[in-house]
Amino acid sequence: MFIVASASGNIFAFAWAGDLPDSFDGPKWARILCAKGTGLGLDGLFCLQAPDPGRPWVMDHWDADGAFSFCSNGSRAALALQGAPEPEFVDAVSSGESIRLRRFTTSRDLHVGIRMPEGPGFGLTALPVQLKEPAAFGFVGNPQLVIELEDVDSVDLAVFALPLRHHLAFPDGTNVNIIRPTGRGTARIRSWERGVEGETLCCGTGCAVAAAWMAQRTGLSSWQLQPAGADPVDVSVAMNEDGSWRELWLSGRVRIIAGVMPDASLQLA
């Protein structure tokens, strides 16, 4: 049995490690379950360890193509599965990255915030490719290229993003995000995600890096970004002079959608 849940439009399947058979193969199961047309059409698969009081909660994530990777939106959605509203903050290790999760509610909805990985190796770095548009590159557990355009809605993102997604300047590939500021502390963003190999309704890590770049450029530490999906995300950050960040938080709505029992024809075993 898998629980299907979403965060800001990205949809994931979650399973508790203790409920999985010995034959569980994260990359294989992710490729089967996430496939569009033959599977559930998901953005990723998570395996959750049982919470151990006093220790960080451990979770692992695989992209739709089976790659093991850090995913911020899926990590946020995972917190909804714990059910009880206490404690407010939960420290976790998600696909090897140290994060902190925070739950809070509005009048109707559950929202979860994630503090992104920080410290040596995380932050904005030198742009490894020359572009005619303003752009930035950052690492937040995965690589993110952010490009500012005057119009993000009319762009054929597949045509625009694919040459950059596979550019030789990015040995591990990169997510490609296009952004347009729309007001003071607000922006529109679209994201092409590696692993999914397509545009998603929201790339949480891409939104976080984009907002960090906007904060560095403008001095505004809080941003609300509207991705391709219906749910906006809020980002706050303290930027250091060297492009690294502190307390980079991304928050937005999460939903539990359904419980799913895969059919035997999927041949997960």
Average pLDDT, the chain: 94
Which domains occur in the chain, in start order?
2-100+255-266 (3.10.310.10), 123-254 (3.10.310.10)
Give the pLDDT of residue 82: 82
pLDDT at 95 over 70: yes
Burial class (CB in 10 A: 0-12, 13-18, 19+), 266: middle
Give the pLDDT of residue 104: 80
Give the pLDDT of residue 253: 95
Give the pLDDT of residue 108: 74
Q: How far is CA 73 from the centre of its chain?
A: 4
Strand residues in the chain grouped as ranges (E): 2-7, 10-16, 44-48, 57-63, 89-94, 97-105, 110-115, 123-125, 135-139, 143-148, 175-183, 186-193, 198-200, 222-226, 233-239, 245-260
pLDDT at 64 over 70: yes
pLDDT at 164 over 70: yes
Helices then strands, counting H and E runs in the chain, come out as 4, 16
Secondary structure (3-state) at 28: helix
Listed residue (136, 147, 138) closest to 117, CA to CA: 138
Confidence of residue 109 (pLDDT cuts 50, 70, 90): confident
Q: What is the arithmetic mean of pLDDT over 40-67?
A: 95
The CA–CA distances, whole Å, from 111 to 210, 221, 223 equal 21, 20, 16
| Cβ atoms < 10 Å from Cβ of 80 | 19
Secondary structure (3-state) at 20: coil
